[in-house]
Amino acid sequence: MKKIIPMGLLWLGLLLAVPSLMAAEISVKDGDSIQSAVNKANTGDVILVYPGTYKESVYVDKDGITIRGVVQDGEWPVMEGEGVRNDAILYSGNDFTVEWLTITHYKGNAIMGQAGNNFVIRYNKVIDTGVYGIFPQFGKNGLIEYNVLSGIEDAAIYVGMCDNVDVRHNEVFDNVAGIEIENTRHALVENNYAHDNTAGLLVFITPGLPIKTTYDVILRNNFVVNNNTANFGAAGSIVSKVPPGIGIVVMAADDVIVEGNIVSGNKTAGIVITDLAFITDISSDPDSEPNPDRMVFLDNLMFDNGADPVADVKALMLTQFSRRGPDILANLGSAQEPDNCIINRERYTRFGVKKWSECERKDTSDILTMRIPGGAPNEVVTTENRTKLLYQGICAGCHAYNLRMIGPPTLTVQALYRNDAQGIADYIAAPHKVRTDYPAMPPQGHLSPELRREVAEYMLGVTK
Amino acid sequence: MKRLALLLCVVLAACSNDNVPDVSSEKAAADALQVLQQSSSADGKALYAACAACHGAKGEGNVALSAPSLVNQQDWYLFRQLNGFRSGLRGSHPQDGYGAQMQAIAKTLPDEAAVNAVVSYIASFSAEPAAKTLDGNIKRGADYYSNLCGACHGPAAEGNDKLQAPALAGVDDWYLLKQFDHFRDGIRGADEADRYGYQMGMMGKTLPDAETAKDVIAYIQSLAD
Confidence (pLDDT) at A235: 76
- Model confidence pLDDT, tens digit, residues B149-190: 999 999 999 999 999 999 999 999 999 999 999 999 999 999
How far apart (Å, rounded) are the C-alpha atoms in residues A300 and A65? 40
- Model confidence pLDDT, tens digit, residues A245-260: 999 999 999 999 999 9
Asked if A460 has any chain B CB less than 8 Å from its own CB, the reply is no
Long-range contacts of A126-129 (CB under 8 A, 24+ apart): A126/A102, A126/A150, A126/A152, A126/A156, A127/A102, A127/A103, A127/A151, A128/A104, A128/A152, A129/A81, A129/A88, A129/A103, A129/A104, A129/A105
> CB count, 10 Å around CB of A96?
27
pLDDT average, residue stretch A54-68: 95
pLDDT average, residue stretch A338-351: 96
Q: Which residue has the higher pLDDT, B8 or A216?
A: A216
- Model confidence pLDDT, tens digit, residues A154-187: 999 999 999 999 999 999 999 999 999 999 999 9
* pLDDT for residue A122 is more than 90: yes
Least confident of A155-159, A235-239, B85-89: A235-239
Least confident of A104-108, A158-162, A205-209: A205-209
Give the ranges where chain B is alpha helix by DSSP (H): 2-12, 23-38, 44-55, 75-87, 97-108, 112-123, 138-144, 150-153, 173-185, 195-203, 210-224
Confidence (pLDDT) at A284: 62
Mean pLDDT (chain A, rounded): 91
- Model confidence pLDDT, tens digit, residues B56-76: 999 999 999 999 999 999 999
- Substitution target in A435, A463, A464 with the highest count of B β-carbons within 10 Å is A435
Domain boundaries of chain A, sorted by first residue: 22-115, 138-375, 386-461
pLDDT average, residue stretch A255-278: 95
Q: Which residue has the higher pLDDT, A22 or B159?
A: B159
Confidence (pLDDT) at A16: 42
Degrees (nearest 5) of the Cα angle A277, A303, A251?
A: 20
Chain B, residues 97-156, CB within 8 A of chain A, namely: 140, 143-144, 146-148, 150-152, 154-155
Confidence (pLDDT) at A48: 98
Cβ contact B163–A414 (<8 Å):
no
Least confident of A33-37, A315-319, B29-33: B29-33
* Burial annotation B151-188 (CB, 10 A radius, 16+ → b, else e): bbbbbebebbeebbbbbbbbbbbbbbbbbbbbbbeebb
Share of chain A above pLDDT 70, in %: 94
- Residue A3 pLDDT level (bands cut at 50, 70, 90): low
Type of residue at A44: G
Confidence (pLDDT) at A223: 98
Asked if A415 has any chain B CB less than 8 Å from its own CB, the reply is yes
Q: Which residue has the higher pLDDT, A37 or B17?
A: A37
Domains of chain B: residue spans and CATH: 2-123 (1.10.760.10), 138-222 (1.10.760.10)
* pLDDT for residue B145 is more than 90: yes
User: What is the CATH topology of the domain spanning A386-461?
Assistant: Cytochrome Bc1 Complex; Chain D, domain 2 (1.10.760)
Asked if A281 has any chain B CB less than 8 Å from its own CB, the reply is yes
pLDDT average, residue stretch A240-247: 92
- What ipTM was assigned to the predicted interfaces of this complex? 0.84
How far apart (Å, rounded) are the C-alpha atoms in residues A253 and A256? 7
Nearest chain B alpha carbon to A436? B154
- Residue B12 pLDDT level (bands cut at 50, 70, 90): very low
* pLDDT for residue A359 is more than 50: yes
Confidence (pLDDT) at A205: 92
Confidence (pLDDT) at A5: 56
- Model confidence pLDDT, tens digit, residues B13-38: 334 456 788 888 888 888 888 877 77
Cβ contact B152–A416 (<8 Å):
yes
Cβ contact B150–A236 (<8 Å):
yes
Cβ contact B162–A434 (<8 Å):
yes
Minimal C-alpha gap between A437 and chain B (Å): 7
Q: Which residue has the higher pLDDT, A196 or A464?
A: A196
* pLDDT for residue A106 is more than 90: yes
Minimal C-alpha gap between A439 and chain B (Å): 12
Confidence (pLDDT) at A287: 73
- Model confidence pLDDT, tens digit, residues A382-425: 877 889 888 988 899 889 998 888 899 999 999 999 999 999 99
* pLDDT for residue A195 is more than 60: yes
Asked if B209 has any chain A CB less than 8 Å from its own CB, the reply is no
Asked if B94 has any chain A CB less than 8 Å from its own CB, the reply is no
Confidence (pLDDT) at A285: 67
Distance of CA A22 to the CA centre of its chain: 34
* pLDDT for residue A360 is more than 50: yes
Confidence (pLDDT) at B11: 34
